[in-house]
Amino acid sequence: MKKTSVKKIAVATPRVPKVTVSELNVRKAATRLLNVKLVSTEIAYVQRILGNSATQQDLDDRVLAVRALPWSDIALAD
């Protein structure tokens, strides 16, 4: 029985660009997705969870989810 060699082919995975998670970008995403403005506490929550940069899809998902969260999860205790 003859052994056959298998050649490995390198497949490039598409690079997903990241955007800055700034207050302006969070506000723009909220306006585009929800047609309402987020309050500053909600914006701070999204920035706290995502960090400095995230993919646009992650930002969109988090903006949509922030309105469904209970306020006690969003607001920081004093």
How far the first Cα of the chain sits from its last, in Å, is 74
Residues 6+ apart with CB under 8 A from 13: none
- Tell me the CATH architecture of domain 18-74: Orthogonal Bundle (1.10)
The pLDDT of residue 5 is above 80:
no
Token pair, residue 21, equals 């998670």
Domain assignments of the chain as residue spans, ordered by start: 18-74
Prediction pTM value: 0.77
Mean pLDDT within 42-51 = 95
% of the chain with per-residue pLDDT over 90: 65
Rounded-to-integer distance, Cα 47 and Cα 59, Å: 9
Mean pLDDT of the chain: 90
